[in-house]
Every structure is written in structure tokens, then in C-alpha cells.
Amino acid sequence: MPGVPCGALQHHTVPVACAIICSWLLILVHSAFCQKPAKLPLVGRKPFLAAWNAPLDMCKLKYNINVSLDLFQISGSPRAVHTGQNVTIFYANRLGYYPFYNEQGVPINGGLPQNSSLEAHLHKARKDIAHFIPSEDFRGLAVIDWEFWRPQWDRNWNKKYIYRQRSSELIAQAYLNVTDKQVEELARLRFEKSAKEFMQGTLKLGTQTRPHGLWGFYLYPDCHNYNVHAHDYNGTCPQQEIKRNDQLFWLWNSSTALFPALAIRKGHMDSIHNLHFSQNRVLESLRLASLTSLPYELPTYVYTRLGYRDEAMAFLTQEDLIHTIGESAALGAAGFVIWGDLNLTSSRHNCSKVKAFLNHRLGQYITNVTQAAEICSDLLCQSHGRCVRRDPQAPHYLHLSRGSYRILSNRNGTFTVTRQPSKNERQMLADKFRCHCYQGYEGERCDSIEPEEIEEDNMINEDVEKEKKPEVNKDIQDSAVPLQKAFILTILLLLLNFSSI
């Protein structure tokens, strides 16, 4: 049906109709040209957070091997015996009555979301949240790990195809004289509606009961760029998958953080395929983070591993640490989470291997990238924003300059950074990175303050004495900013003129 121009409506509806249209157009223009501010960091002014989510406590209990986690600002073991942790992961059996089919095809909690009681699930989930996160003032990561089905019908393939089959069977049993096409369409509608209600309702419960925590689903968003064996692989998210991610607006709008995952394969060790795989997954998460109705971009915390997806105890090389953790930092993620299971602690040898990796290669790299991110934030953004690559595909990383910094290993598993700042360090960073300001700050250097918009209550206090920050070169400008403002003003004037017709 063709649209009706504002001028063709009755006279008394013109101002209202045009005002609505103009308001939406202005929102679209603003979203397209003005980046939302970043949410304040979870810990102090740490622009790139290091988090741990693996059961290393078993090394101490079983083998008396103590592994220091001082590198990480927040940590938590995924073992069910632990509660009250800053990183809490909810597996399928730990949060309410999550419906799914087990490996033998047996339905658990009804098997399908449309065949399970949402009310009973939320009642149980409320108790589970109170158990695993007893503090109502919780200020950490709350990650829901539901992997048996996906909320979109078309994404339930391979082992997940059972959810389409069983959903169709339910409809076929309930209705007579319907075609196969009608059965599938009804099954799709009911499955997707119920899946949405389960996921959205669970997030709503979490954000209501523990409002200062950052809630989201593990593996969401997913770029589905898994065809890494293709000869011409460049990691780009398929257009169909980008469209499907856009259709999950309700999920991003209900979350308070995004948790994409970077699990790379040993078969592509040190390969540019690993770089392309990681880069595009992080970029897709950052894209979706800005589409919500919230006044800030959702923080992205990238899940990664010590080892490769197909060989857990073969730990990442230096190059692949850059391809995962380093790439995430340079693109503007809020942090990373290292996940692991009980395989890491299944033997004395494995525990010793994990400890050695943390005390050397991994520990040195985490120190390097987190310190570099903090220094860049200090120098370019007054500690009021995080540094982000000007060109997302450029090979620029937040790494300490070898000529100016040294990373020294300490006996207790920690690291010390010695510094001899270079005179042109600030300009070198400014050429490659820009600032993404936190809430309450704006400007090229995040030096324009709006105190009423700062949400200090969402931060974990950190008892670290801040050094005096050097002044940033006032000549560092980006000519795109005034051009964008001029464009928006022009659009505004045109819209106002249109509404007066």
C-alpha cells in the first residue's frame, strides 16, 4: 500500500503525524552519525578488563598447586559449589527449568519452550539467582549459558534440528486437516514466541533482582562465520546471519552486556584465518551493541580460551593471543573472559602446564595489552574513554612500545611494568586510535563533562592511587565531527521545513 503524504491528511493531524515522522528520522540520523557513549568500566577506570572463568581451585585442592589469578580484575569458578563470585555462569541445570532434549533425545523440563511452564521456570530461577548471587549489590558478570537450542527457527540445524521436528509434531497432533506447510509455519511461530519469552523473561528477572550486574547470554551474538576451511575465507559474517542478528533486537535490548566467543582451531594456528574469524565476530557484537534503546553501547566481553577448540591443552601461541585478546582490545571491547572446564585440572601435569602458561606467555601478554589500553586511555582520553582503532581492519594493536616499556616477571606470578615514555608516544597513538568516551563525557578527547549522566554506582571500587594524567595535545582533531554535526543540522532544518508544509 503506498504511503500517504503528511499534506494529504486532515489538517488537525498534520502536526502530530509529521512530528512523529520527524522524530523517528532524527533518531535514525543521530544513530547513523553519532556513536553512543560507552558504559563506564566495571572496575575502576580499566578500559579493557581481564576476567577469569575456569575451575583452577581444583589444582590447589587435588595437587596443592597454587595458581595466582592476580592478573585478572574479576574471577569466578564455573563449579556449582561456588557462590557469590564476580563472574557467575549459569549452565542449563542451574537457572530455573530450562527446557531441552538431552543427548539421548529425552525431553528435560518439557523439552520445548512452548511445552514448558514459564511461570514455574521464573519462580525457580529467582531462587537460583538468590543462591548463586546472594548479594543484591552484585556488580559483576552474570552469563547465561543455554546452548541446546537457538531462539530462531532457521538457526536450529544439525543436532538442534530436533527442536523443529518436535515442534512440528506438537502442531500436527493438535490440528487436523492442515498442510505440511501450515504445520511448519504454526510450529515456527509458537517455538519462536516461547523461546523469546523464556530468554527475555529470564534476562528481565536477572536485571530486576541484581540490577548492577551485567547480564547476557554466552555465545550471543554469533556471526556464524565458521567456514574457515574455505580457500578465500575472509571471516565476513554472512548477510543472512547479519539479518537474523538484527531480528534479535529484543534480545540485545533486554541484555546489559554481550558475550560473543572466540574459539579458534589448532589447524589454523597463527593463520590470518584466525584473525579474520575473531575480528568479524567482535565487530558484529560492537555493531549490535549500539542498536538498543539504552543511552549507551552495551559492553562487549569476549569469551576466549587458554587453548584451541580442538585441543584444549595446546595453548594459544603469541600470534593467536594477538588474534583473539589483542584484536578485541584494539576494536573497542570492554574486556575478555578466559573460560575453561575441568580438563584443565584433570592431572598434576595439566595444572603445572596452566600455571606455567599464566606465569609466562599468557601473563606477559595480558599485562602488555591491559596496560597499553590503560595508558592509551590516559594519554588520549583523559581516562574518560577507551581507545579504538580508527580503521577496524588496520594492523594496529594496543601494545606497549618495546623501546619505552619493559615487563618484568615476579616470583609470585605477577608482573611489573617499567616505563620510559617516548616524547612522540601520544601522537603515535592518536594517529592510529580514537577515543570512545564513557557516559557523561564527550569530545574528541572526552574532556567535556556532563556529571549528571555519569553512573558511578555501576563500578567496582578499586583502591588504586591514580597517577596525575598528562595533558593531551589539543591539536588532535577529527574533521569528521563538525561535518557530521553540520549534516545533522541540515537534516533537522529540512525536516522542520517539511513539517510546516
Cα–Cα dist 398/366, whole Å? 11
Would you state the cell numbers that stand for residue 69, as one nine-digit string? 589469578
Cα–Cα dist 360/496, whole Å? 62
Cα–Cα dist 453/16, whole Å? 30
How do strand 335-339 and strand 301-305 relate by DSSP bridges? parallel
Calculate the dihedral angle through the C-alpha atoms of 321, 326, 331, 332, rounding to the nearest 10 degrees. 120
Cα–Cα dist 269/287, whole Å? 27
Beta strands in 10-114, from DSSP E residues, in sequence order: 49-53, 74-75, 87-90, 100-101, 107-108
Residue position matching grid coordinates 546472594 = 134
Residues taking part in catalysis? 147
**Cα of 269 vs its chain's centroid, Å:** 24
Peptide bond before 395: cis, by omega within 30 degrees of 0? no
3-state secondary structure at position 357: helix
- CA 242-244-245 angle, 5° bins: 65
Amino acid identity, residue 193?
Answer: K
98 — phi, psi (to 5°)?
-70, 120
Give the closest residue to 78 by CA, choosing from 98, 97, 103, 52: 52
Give the closest residue to 458 by CA, choosing from 328, 296, 339: 296
DSSP 8: G
